[in-house]
Amino acid sequence: MNCQPTYLNQNMMEVENRLSERFDGLVDELPDELNERRVKNGVILEESEEEVEAMEGGGVEGEEMLKSDGLHHNSGRIIKKAKRPIKATSFSEPSVPGVAPTQGLVNLNRASKNLRRPRNSLGRGLPKKGGAGGKGTWGKLGDEMELPWVDPNDPNYDSDGEEAAEVGKKTIKLNTLVPEMSEEDVRKAVEPLMLEYFENGECEEVLFSLEEMLLNIGSRRWMVPALAIELSMDHKPSHREMTSQLISELYQKVISQRDIGKAYDFLLRQLSDLILDTPDAPTIIGNFMARNIADDCIPPKFLQSYKGHVTEVEAVKALCRADTLLSMKHGLVRLDNVWGVGGGIRPVKYLVKKIVLLLKEYLCSCDIQEATRCLKDLEVPHFHHELVYEAVVMVIESMHEKTDEAMCKLLQALFRSFVITIEQMRAGFQRVYDQMVDISIDVPQAYSVLERWVLRCRQAGIINDDILKKMPSRGRKRFVSEGDGGLIKDSSYW
């Protein structure tokens, strides 16, 4: 009888312990005669397939085969080897009918089947690559935000985050390069803004547009007030008032005190050319200077800096005009109305006085163009019916043929030039019709004079038949001859 070495027995005991721990719960108990089935070199012999079939089939042949192989216990219990689950007893597929599953595998639940721990007792039991490994995976969430490198040649490469690039010991900072406009480009960009401002009067829109092009204008910001004043010379006094307000609004936002002073230097040098288009250019520039000083856009010493340095007559006249306005009593307060009060703001009595003076001057000079210019300067197109009313009243009060003819020519010229509309003409005549009772008290022949002059205006094409038919007539009760039976004759014109 061969005796096994001691170290071999210890190794066999360790193998048995490992097997018992590994198959605990899967197999009822380990075979009892593992020690009897040892061959050379300490290798355990496993059962063959034929032995298993014979063992499962039963019968005499199977028992004899098991006995002949020495796999039958003395007590009659059959020794079976622990085998792996086959397809018939797998977890993922249903069992084949007629084949009983392994007894140890029946007790496993779904959680045990889905465990990701390795079955070979190796590793830490963690998922591979943090759950993001394997073929066809894209990585964990957020991996795309932490790219290992960025290709500068990529079309989607964004270098805004890189404020400075270090080359050796020097730090290079990249600044935005903005092309600066020339004087011609600034003029082309600013003039449309000013003309549009004269139409809508929106200072905020001009300020927003200039702030957008501020970098491109650069050192030529002084051209903004210079162009605004130059353009306002060709417009009405109300537009000059709007220009003064715009300069005050742009001060310290787009333009500075130095820019305004440089603009006036440019305008004073160009006065000889500006006078050709605007004869009163020195007076206008002087008014602008005084108004800007009153608005605290430039200091009062600005005018003193020109003393002894200006030789042109026009420039001296402009500076004297500004100095005179500032030297008046309460001059700074009066400069708020240096351009006059706007047409819609002026009092009605003031407008009536101006219109009456206009008509009296016209009767003396008979200058239709000058009368038209003065009427336009009032900037009250909604109040032109007052001129028609005052003209008709003057014709009635004068009762002179020359006055009738002159007033008819004036209204005809204003009507044909579309200065006075048909609505304003109708409103003026209707006002006269409504006041004829009071007018006839002062002028007894008012109805006859009115009738004669209205017919003249109708022949001149100033009024239409509707205005003519509405003309009132003075009612007179004149009895006819005795043979008419005492009837009253209607003396109306129609």
How far, in Å, CA of 186 to CA of 206, rounded?
Answer: 14
- pLDDT computed for residue 269 by the predictor: 92
**Half-sphere exposure (Cβ direction) of 172: Cα atoms closer than 13 Å:** 5
pLDDT range class, residue 176, cuts 50, 70, 90? confident
Which tops the pLDDT comparison, 109 or 284? 284
Angle, helices 385-398 vs 401-416, to 10°: value is: 160
**DSSP state at residue 317:** H
How far, in Å, CA of 72 to CA of 32, rounded?
Answer: 10
How far, in Å, CA of 132 to CA of 114, rounded?
Answer: 18
- pLDDT computed for residue 328 by the predictor: 85
Cβ atoms of residues 243 and 197 within 8 Å: no
Which tops the pLDDT comparison, 399 or 61? 399
Cβ atoms of residues 300 and 294 within 8 Å: no
Q: Taking the CB of residue 223, how many other CB atoms lie within 10 A of it?
A: 22
Runs of H (alpha helix) within 251-384: 257-269, 271-277, 281-294, 301-304, 313-327, 331-334, 348-365, 368-378
Q: Is 456 exposed, middle or buried (0-12, 13-18, 19+ CB in 10 A)?
A: middle
| pLDDT single digits (tens) 304-329 | 888 778 888 999 999 999 999 988 88
pLDDT surpasses 50 at 485: no
How far, in Å, CA of 447 to CA of 101, rounded?
Answer: 131
Cβ atoms of residues 338 and 295 within 8 Å: no
- pLDDT computed for residue 489 by the predictor: 46
| pLDDT single digits (tens) 322-367 | 999 988 887 777 888 888 766 666 788 988 999 999 999 999 999 9
How far, in Å, CA of 494 to CA of 477, rounded?
Answer: 16
pLDDT surpasses 70 at 251: yes
How far, in Å, CA of 362 to CA of 414, rounded?
Answer: 13
Nearest to 317 by CA among 366, 372, 280: 280
Q: What is the mean pLDDT of the chain?
A: 76
H helix or E strand, kind and range, residue 391: helix 385-398
Q: 12 — alpha (psi -120 to 50), left (phi > 0) or beta? A: alpha
Q: Is 407 exposed, middle or buried (0-12, 13-18, 19+ CB in 10 A)?
A: buried
Which tops the pLDDT comparison, 119 or 236? 236
